[in-house]
Structure 1
Amino acid sequence: MSSTSSSPPVQLKSRIGAILRATSGNFLEQFDFFLFGFYARYIAQAFFPSHDETAALLHTFGVFWLGALMRPVGAIVLGAYIDRIGRRKGLIVTLSIMAIGTVTIAFCPTYATIGVAAPTIVLIGRLLQGFSAGVELGGVSVYLSEIATPGNRGFYTSFQSSSQQVAIFVASIIGFALSELIPAETVAAWGWRIPFFIGCLIIPVIFFLRRTLEETPEFLAMKHHPTTREVFASAAANWRIIVLGMMIAVLTTTTFYFVTVYTPTFGRTVLKLTTRDALLVTLLVAVTNFIWNPVGGALSDRIGRRPVLTGIAILSLLTAYPALHWLVEAPSFSKMLAVEMMFSFYFGVYSGTMLGALVEIVPKHVRTTCFSMAFALAAGLFGTFTPFAATLLIEHTHDKASPAYWLMCAAVLGIIAALTVFRGGEQAAKDRALAG
């Protein structure tokens, strides 16, 4: 009797532990990505010196984006490895590569010390991070979907994105503490490296967590694990669903990088708010992102993926520019917080739904590769390009609300893709994926 009564709590504890171990690598990825965006001004001064602040920022965000262009390469190469070897081993490999990139950036000397070698080393570090990140999200999402209980796939996969918000929250707390405890001149000179060093110290803990992962029962039950050549051939044959999956994911990636990575720079350099205000907004956004992701996943489990995806995308399309225009007309902390909370709601609910949808529409036997390719293309071509695009739009249009155009384009792509993929119903989309 006691054994039976204790079984559900034991199973729940085991599943929570598996979620924490699987998503730990996402923490490191987003922790470092956010820091790169938040300290972009200081990184620009250290590695890309220029008399023009906008030009220096564009160089920095350009390197940020170039690293993201390695995501599709990592998605296909590491995705094939995970689909062939297994989820557990693949996630350990991606973490190893990501750790090397993090350490490289944290300890790289400045341009003043080693000249042009400095930006080159930073670029290499970003390329390594982008290569590993290409499959990190897909590998974790697939892992969570394969350990999910029936009818709760959206809810389980949503914690992939929620884990990233924890990283943003922790990074914001560290940044806030530094801004309060250390003079601004010291932060600009070398203090910005401290959070990166902290990230390096976290790496051994994440390695320990990842090594204790168990392989998913669904992967173990597969009678045939495709070879690398078979994975590549199948991914090529399913290029259409990869492109549609990319279009669905674009709104997630652009909104995420806007409300997290770009927000601190937008608050300081465009709205002329204080560093403290920009950090506090970002911190609160991380909290609400964490909450809305599982809400979106659970909601889509109950009413379906398509209604949530199209509903949020339409709201984003209609409100992005009016909201930003209202903000930039008379910037204030309270107005920035209100607008960011709106975008946080859009991102969280949409992302929590999108992850489950993307897992379900890609072919099962190459699930990691196709999922990762779709998301990597969305992040590489659109998401991580957001800070650069926003800076460029403001520079050329002289309209501080113009980044909204970028978000509106993403919303249009999401609407078109969701209506196309789920035509005839969600079960039909799942059947087509299984047939593929």
Structure 2
Amino acid sequence: MAAETSPGRATSAGDVFRIASGNFLEMYDFMVFGYFAAAIGQAYFPAGDAASGLLKSLATFGAGFLMRPLGALVLGAFTDRHGRRAGLLLTLALMSVGIVTLTVTPGYATIGVLAPTLVLGGRLIQGFSAGAELGNVSVYLAEIAPPGRTGFYVSWQSASQQVAVIVAALVGVALSFVLGPAQLADWGWRLPLGLGCLLVPLLFVLRRHLRESDAFETRAAPDSIATIARHLWAARGIVLAGLGLVLMTTVSFYMITAYTPTFGKILHLPEQANLLVTAGVGASNLLWLPMMGALSDRIGRKPILIACTVLMMLTAYPAMAWLTGHPSVLRLIAVELWLSALYASYNSAMVVYLTEIVPPAVRASGFSLAYSLATAVGGFTPFIVTWLISVTGNRAVPGLWLTAAAAISLAAVVVTGRSQRRAALQKRGAL
């Protein structure tokens, strides 16, 4: 079932900007953490060697994703009951706690074990809020989109994340020119986080002026939390299929953005070049997302979903093997841009497809739960592939991780397609 849209009130570019602004902050924080994972590991997780500290830092990066399913259930149900605007304000407040905590908490050398404890707590709170943020934004955009343009409008949820990728990478590049490696590792990594903290008041002002979506306001009456829980349980098959749909998105996104600077170091490529490549990936994603979202409005979601998953399965490992065989910045750019095209094209169709197949009564909570369960796996991609490389000695192994995720997502596309066809046949039979 397609997300209901209401043409009664015109939707402006300002509406889309206000909706996606908090999504930018969430992803900006995650990207800064990923880019400076090694420095954060040294500050909060002292270890006998740099590799152990990096793994602990990446594990903390991934720990927030474990809270996303709980946040999806609690905050998604809150949004389905109290409205999209209220849900977006609440998730913004909670995610602000995470970025402020990481910015101001002293290092391990100053306050001991309390330092990693506070940082982990902040990541868990932020993960809890992020569990519903992306779903709330996607559902809101789907519900305010003009008829026939849902794919294009929903694509700006992901596009706002790509702006965050670009900004975070360019800030990292600028700092690498201004500060020396020792200064950057000691305290310089806190500067981009502080910049994110300064944005928080502005984002609250922007979101306070959001209007509620017509689709939510015209519902007969908000369901109780107990009723929403029953609807969610009845839709558990769609939620599990949605997990499979989202998996390729989360694995590929964190592979080509947050992990790229770390992977570049593993390949012994220049740090500044790695960050510039990451910024280029964000720009590539930003180009592909709205373009392919608009295409999905014209030709349908499933042709794009199937083509991208098949291409990822066929090319991910050979591309990584080619890159790692003779590492260079040019090869890194070529592989990352190819993976970016597959990720962004797939994601542009997948996000709106998921809003269309989740029942309206639990659209925010069902979408958020499916996405968060997948992110709880995909968000650990930097940790998983770093560990796999250390265990196998094969630097191309990230390609196998991408291939597995694409295979699962392809199976989910097939399963949901069959379910939609059966539902359509049953509906025609009832008529």
Fold conserved (TM > 0.5)? yes
1:353 aligns with 2:349: yes
Matching residue within 156, 178, 183 for 2:175: 178
Instruction: Assess, with a 3 A threshold, how the Cα gap between structure 1 residues 424 and 80 changes in structure 2: closer, same or farther.
Output: closer
| TM superposition outliers: structure 1 runs of 4+ over 6 Å | 429-432
C-alpha distance in 1 between matches for 2:38 and 2:425 = 45
> Where does structure 2 lack aligned partners over 5 or more consecutive residues?
1-7
Deviation at 1:306, TM superposition (A): 1.1
Matched, 1:288 2:310: no
**In the aligned structure 2, how far is the partner of 1:236 from the partner of 1:354?**
22
Residue 426 of structure 1: CA displacement?
6.7
- Give the match for residue 118 of structure 1: 115
Give the partner amino acid of 1:379.
T
**2:29 paired residue among 29, 32, 50:** 32
Moved more, 230-239 or 171-180: 230-239
* 2:214 paired residue number: 217
Counterpart selection for 1:267 from 264, 268, 271? 264
Aligned partner letter, 1:93: L
Q: Distance in 2 between matches of 1:19 and 1:336?
A: 33
Q: Does 1:412 align with 2:417?
A: no
The TM-score with structure 1 as length reference comes to 0.94
Whether 2:403 is the aligned partner of 1:403: answer no
Structure 2: how far apart are the matches of 1:428 and 1:321? 37
CA distance in 2, matches of 1:409, 1:309: 15
Q: Distance in 1 between matches of 2:303 and 2:213?
A: 30
1:350-399 deviations in Å (ceiling 9; x for gaps) = 1111110000000011100000000000001x211100111011011110
2:314 to 315, 318, 321: 318
> Of 393, 405, 408, which residue of structure 1 is paired with 2:388?
393
Find out whether 1:278 has 2:274 as its counterpart: yes
Q: TM-score, normalised by structure 2?
A: 0.95
C-alpha separation in 2, matches of 1:197 and 1:36: 12
CA contact 1:361–1:430 (8 Å) conserved in 2: no
> Is the Cα–Cα contact under 8 Å of residues 361 and 429 in structure 1 kept in the other structure?
no
- Is 2:24–2:160's contact at 8 Å kept on the other side of the alignment? yes
2:70 alignment partner, one of 70, 73, 77: 73
Would you say the 8 A contact 1:137–1:372 is kept in 2?
yes
1:167 maps to what in 2? Answer: 164
Q: Identify the residue that residue 4 of structure 2 maps to in structure 1.
A: none
Q: 2:324 aligns to what?
A: 328
| Matching residue of 1:7 | none
Pairing 1:421–2:416 present: yes
Change (3 A) 1:431 1:153: farther
- Give how far 1:74 is off: 0.3
TM-superposition CA deviations, 1:78-118 (whole Å, max 9, x none): 00000000000110000000001110111011000011111
Match in the other structure for 1:3? none
**How far, CA to CA, are the matches of 2:15 and 2:396 in structure 1?**
42
Q: CA deviation at 1:424?
A: 6.7
- Rounded Cα–Cα distance in structure 2 between residues aligned with 1:184 and 1:278: 15
Partner residue, 1:343: 339
Partner of 1:4: none
One-letter amino acid of the counterpart of residue 357, structure 2: I
Work out whether residues 11 and 144 of structure 2, in 8 Å CA contact, stay in contact via their aligned partners in 1: no
- 1:431 Cα deviation from its structure 2 partner: 9.0
What are structure 1's unaligned runs of at least 5 residues? 1-10
- % of aligned pairs identical? 47
SS in 1 for 2:418: coil
Q: Which letter does structure 2 place at the counterpart of 1:133? A: A
Q: Deviations over 1:154-186 (max 9, x none)?
A: 111110000000111111111110001111110
Give the residue type in structure 2 aligned to 1:251: M
Q: Give the AA of the match of 1:233.
A: R
Shift of 1:36: 0.5
The 2-side partners of 1:402 and 1:354 are apart by 25
Contact 2:94 2:126 in 1 (8 A): yes
* Aligned pair partner of 1:368 in 358, 364, 369: 364
Structure-2 residue corresponding to 1:6: none
Mapped to 2, the partners of 1:113 and 1:75 lie a distance apart of 35
Distance 1:136 1:345 in 2: 25
Quickly say closer, same or farther: Cα 1:235–1:429, change in 2 above 3 A. Answer: farther
Q: Is the 8 A contact 1:421 1:429 kept in 2?
A: no
Distance 2:285 2:85 in 1: 27
Give the drift of 1:224. 2.4
Q: Within 2, Cα distance between the matches of 1:400 and 1:233?
A: 46
Residues 407 and 430 (structure 1), Cα distance of their counterparts in 2 relative to 1, 3 Å cut: farther
